[in-house]
Structure 1
Amino acid sequence: MRAFVLTAPGAYEVRDVPAPVAVPGEVVVEVERVGVCGTDVEFFTGAMAYLHQGHSVYPMRPGHEWAGRVVSVGVGVDPGWAGRRVMGDTMLGCGSCRRCLRGRQHVCEKRQEVGIRGARDGALAERLAVPATSLHVLPDSVDAVLGALVEPGGNALRAARATAARAGDRVLVLGPGTIGLLVAMFLRAAGVDVHLLDRAGHSPAFAHALGFEQVWDEGSLPELPFDAVEDASNAGHLPDRALELVESGGRLVCIGLAAEPSRIDTRTLVLKDVTAVGVLSASPGLDATIEAYASGAVDPRPLVAATVGLDEVGPVLAGGRPEGAGSGPKIHVDPRTAAR
């Protein structure tokens, strides 16, 4: 089969590799759609922390936002999985440690992460092998586009819920990229008054097209009380700014990661009685995200600007935009698409 392989920072190949075989406890999926993520870009540039911590090494096959159909099952797997449309959890815990036994496999110290950590091949290939325990069924109303948006959506849903915002509350979301906009969509679906903070000079047109009218930059942000502030940006200074902006007794939620260490003043945190929450992984939010997509409560399809084949992944990771791409922040890959 064909697969996209990163061989070193900035270096890649589309290779013919052996197709995976379903070992005991696992299934093989024909991949229909994969999302390109900021994590994939960090592996492309060599900036990803896991590379420097020994959790990941080149060559590697990225891709963790995926949807597809099960084509074979291994020994010990319910044969009823065959033919089912699915997506999968990125986080694969060891299953036996204290965290896993408490339902927190997404923070297992020994975890693998599909396409990211522990030499677990990712989905930028025609087929993918994953444990059957990681699968989540996609209903007919959730197509391949939506299916590949479940993983980022699960992260965003958890981040939105972490604000504890109720209908009528006002929440500011910093960084309207894929995750920030998904957070905003989930908050809006809950009846929250959503505001977005973007970088200066960046056009708010796309956010406006999604129905978000209250889009600001740091120079134009009005003095309003925000019941929660969500940092979905990659700007190192914004977590501290978020703490300044949130109402006393409110909540600060961090899901974005900056290239450099971020700082907050814990004196402000304490004196404002603010609850700070960090969110890692979509795992606890995957089923609820599928339900939200299936019901139409949240429709993230407009976020996808273009769909390309494996041969076009490298230029996308290098920062290029496919010809004819729309305004959305997300690029999808269909590994079945033949080279042009």
Structure 2
Amino acid sequence: MRALVITAPGVAEVQEVDEPVVGPGEVVVDVHRAGICGTDVEFFTGEMAYLHTGHAEYPMRLGHEWAGVVSEVGEGVDPAWLGTSVTGDTMLGCGHCRRCAQGLQHVCEDRFELGIRGGKPGALAEKVAVPASSLHSLPDGVDDVMGALVEPGGNAYRSVQGAQLSRGDRCLVLGPGTIGLLCALFARAEGAEVHVLGRSERSLAFARELGFIAWTEDELPDLAWDAVIEASNAQHLPAKALDLVEPGKRVVYVGLAGLPSTIDTRDLALRDVTAVGILSASPGLSGTIDAYASGAVDPRPLIAATVTLEQLPGILAGERPDGAGPGPKIHVTMQEEKSQ
């Protein structure tokens, strides 16, 4: 089968590789659609921290945002999964430790992360093998486009849940990338007044197209923010988020900068602010699927372009596909898709 393989920093190619062999408790999925995110780009450039901590090494097969159909089941797996449209969890815990037993497999010390950590091949390929326990079925009304947006959506869903918004609250999202805009969509679905802070006019204009109030840092008005969700990769914005949020309210950190960010915990304590950190989509996948299925959140406008596997090396190197729209997300198609 064809799969994208990164062999060194700045070197990616589509290779013919062996199809996955299904193991006990696993399924093989025919991948229909997958997404590219900033983590994938960091692996391509060689900047991703896991490459320097021993959690990942080249060659690598990326892909953790995906949707497809189960084509094979392993020993101990219910055959009813065959033919089911699915997506799956990225975080694959060991299944034996205290954290896994408490439902916290996404912070298991010995976890695999599909296409990211521990050498587990990802879904930027025609087929992928995953544990059946990681699967989430996609109901009617959730097509492959939305299915491949469940994983980033889960991070945003959890971020908004962590903000504990009430109807009429004013929420500020820092960073108009995929996660930030998904946070804005979920916050609006909760009935909040949503503002977005960004830098480029293109990204701010797109946020306004989606119906949000968008500002640059210099323009941001002095308003009372009931929640601030920090979804950028800017080193200074975590501290600014804490400065901006109303006393007694919540700041959520889901973005990661390339260098350490610092906050003054005296401000956190003396203003009685609750800070919430979000690592993964895992506990939010079901809620995200429900929101997509009900129509409460429609993530599809975020897709700028859909490309082939062969176009991916150029995309990872920073090329913008011809005719790409204003959204932040690039998707890849591998096989015939399920449409809504």
For the superposition of Structure 1 and Structure 2, which TM-score range results when normalised by the shorter chain?
Answer: over 0.9
RMSD in angstroms over aligned alpha carbons?
A: 1.0
**What corresponds to 1:335 in structure 2?**
334
Aligned-partner SS, 2:313: helix
How far 1:250 moved relative to its partner?
1.1
Displacement after TM superposition at 1:202 (Å): 4.9
Q: Look up the equivalent residue of 2:231 and give its one-letter code.
A: A
1:265 equivalent in structure 2: 264
Q: Which residue of 2 aligns with 1:205?
A: 205
Aligned 1:1-340 pairs, distance under 5 A: 1-199=1-199, 201-202=201-202, 204-212=204-212, 214-336=213-335
* 1:336 to partner: Cα distance: 3.3
1:217-264: CA deviations, max 9, x gaps?
111111001011110000000000111111111111000000000010
Three-state SS of the structure 1 residue aligned to 2:39 is: helix
In structure 1, distance between residues paired with 2:203 and 2:59: 38
1:121-151: CA deviation from partner (whole Å, max 9, x where unpaired) = 0000000000000000001210000000000
CA distance in 2, matches of 1:333, 1:15: 16
Aligned mates of 2:83, 2:11 — CA distance in 1: 35
Whether the 8 Å CA contact 1:200–1:219 is kept in 2: the answer is: no
The alpha carbon displacement at 1:203 in A equals 5.1
Counterpart of 2:252, as a letter, is V
Deviation of 1:81 (Å): 0.6
Q: Percent identity?
A: 66
Listed one character per residue, the Cα deviations across residues 168-217 of structure 1 (whole Å, up to 9, x for unaligned) are 111110001100000000000010011111116555221111111x1111
* 8 Å contact from structure 1 (residues 309, 336) kept in 2: no
Give TM-score, length-normalised by structure 2: 0.97
Counterpart Cα distance in 2 of 1:293 and 1:201:
28
Q: Counterparts of 1:45 and 1:219 in 2: how far apart (Å)?
A: 31
Per-residue CA deviation, residues 246-290 of structure 1 (Å, 9 max, x unaligned), is 111111100000000001011111111111110011000001100
Count of equivalent residues: 336
TM-score for the superposition, normalised by structure 1: 0.97
Q: Partners of 1:260 and 1:280 in 2: how far apart?
A: 17
Cα 1:170/1:156, change in 2 over 3 Å: same
- The residue identity in structure 2 corresponding to 1:148 is A
Letter of the 2:33 partner, please give it.
R
Q: Supply the AA of the counterpart residue of 2:138.
A: L
SS in 2 for 1:6: strand
CA distance in 1, matches of 2:56, 2:248: 40
Letter in 2 for 1:92: L
Give the SS at the match of 1:242: helix
Gaps of 5+ in 2: none
Measured against aligned partners, the alpha-carbon deviations of 1:279-315 in whole angstroms (never above 9, x if no partner) come to 0110000011001000100001000011111111111
Alpha-carbon separation, structure 1, partners of 2:44 and 2:200: 27
Contact 2:203 2:326 in 1 (8 A): no
- Does structure 1 retain, via aligned residues, the 8 Å contact 2:202–2:326? no
| AA partner of residue 274 (structure 1) | V
CA distance in 2, matches of 1:334, 1:200: 29
Deviates more, 1:203-212 or 1:28-37: 203-212
Q: Per-residue deviation at 1:99? A: 0.3
Q: Give, in angstroms, the shift of residue 335 of structure 1.
A: 2.1
- Measure the CA separation in 1 of the matches of 2:157 and 2:224: 23
Amino acid in the other structure paired with 2:279: L
Q: Distance in 2 between matches of 1:98 and 1:203?
A: 42
Match of 1:204, SS state, is: helix
Unmatched runs of 5 consecutive residues or more in structure 1: none
The answer (yes or no) to whether the contact 1:10–1:45 under 8 Å persists in 2 is yes
